Amino acid sequence: MEEKAKVLEVKDLSVSYTVANVKTHILEDVSFAVSKGKSVGIVGESGCGKTTTMRAILNVLPSNGNVEKGEILYCGEDVLKMANAKLQEYRQKGAGMIFQDPSSALNPVISIKNQFLEALKYAHKDKKLTKAQLLEKAGKSLEAVSLADPERILNSYPFQLSGGMRQRVCIAMTLAAERQLLLADEPGTALDVTIQDQILRLIKQLVDSGELSVIMVTHSLGVIRQVTTEVNIMYAGTMVEGGDTKKVFEHPIHPYTEALMNCLPKLTGNGIAEGIPGRIPDYSNPPKGCRFAPRCPYALKKCQNERPVRHEVDGDHWVACFQAEEGRS
Nearest-5° angle of CA 106, CA 39, CA 225? 105
Q: Which does 59 bind (CB under 5 to 8 A by kind): ligand ADP, Mg ion, none?
A: none
DSSP state for residue 90 in the 8-state scheme: I
- Interhelix angle 163-176/193-208, rounded to 10 degrees, is 20
Any contact of residue 233 with ligand ADP (CB under 6 A)? no
Pick from 14, 39, 51, 189 the residue near ligand ADP by CB under 6 A: 51
122 φ/ψ angles, rounded to the nearest 5 degrees: -75, -45
Q: How far is the CB of 50 from Mg ion (least distance, A)?
A: 5
- The answer to whether 49 contacts ligand ADP (rule: CB under 6 A) is yes
- Residues making contact with Mg ion (CB under 5 A): 50-51
Compute the Cα dihedral for 248, 254, 260, 261 and give only its sign.
positive
Cβ atoms 56, 14 nearer than 8 A = no
- Residue 64 interacting with ligand ADP (CB under 6 A): yes
Contact 195, 188 (CB under 8 A): yes
The span of 31-39, 50-58, 102-110, 150-158 binding ligand ADP (CB under 6 A) equals 50-58
Residue type, 250: E
**Beta-strand pair 181-185/213-218:** parallel
**Does 285 sit near ligand ADP (CB under 6 A)?**
no
Which amino acid, residue 146? S
Residue 104, SS3 per DSSP: helix
Sequence-distant (≥ 6) Cβ neighbours of residue 152 within 8 angstroms: none
Q: Does 107 bind ligand ADP (CB under 6 A)?
A: no
**What is the chain's length?**
329
- Stretch in the footprint of ligand ADP (CB under 6 A) among 48-56, 69-77, 137-145, 243-251: 48-56
The answer to whether 275 and 267 have CB atoms below 8 angstroms apart is yes
Is residue 46 near ligand ADP by the rule CB under 6 A?
yes
CB of residue 283 vs ligand ADP: minimum separation in angstroms?
A: 6
Nearer to ligand ADP, 64 or 133 (CB): 64
- Binds ligand ADP (CB under 6 A): choice among 14, 39, 52, 59: 52
Cα gap 225→248, rounded to integer Å: 10
| Of the residues 2, 3, 19, 21, which one makes contact with ligand ADP according to CB under 6 A | 19
Told to check if 150 binds ligand ADP by CB under 6 A, we report no
Residue 238 binds ligand ADP, judged by CB under 6 A: no
Q: What span, in angstroms and rounded, lies between the C-alpha atoms of 218 and 214?
A: 12
Q: Which among ligand ADP, Mg ion, none contacts residue 17 (Cβ within 5 to 8 A by kind)? A: ligand ADP
Please, are residues 258 and 267 in contact by the beta-carbon 8 Å criterion? no
Residue (51 or 59) nearer to Mg ion, CB: 51
Report the C-alpha gap between 262 and 232 in whole angstroms.
Answer: 17
Stretch that binds ligand ADP, among 42-50, 87-95, 190-198, 309-317 (CB under 6 A): 42-50
Q: How far is the CB of 114 from ligand ADP (least distance, A)?
A: 30
Any contact of residue 256 with ligand ADP (CB under 6 A)? no
Q: Which residues bind ligand ADP (CB under 6 A)?
A: 17, 19, 26, 44, 46-52, 62, 64-65, 283
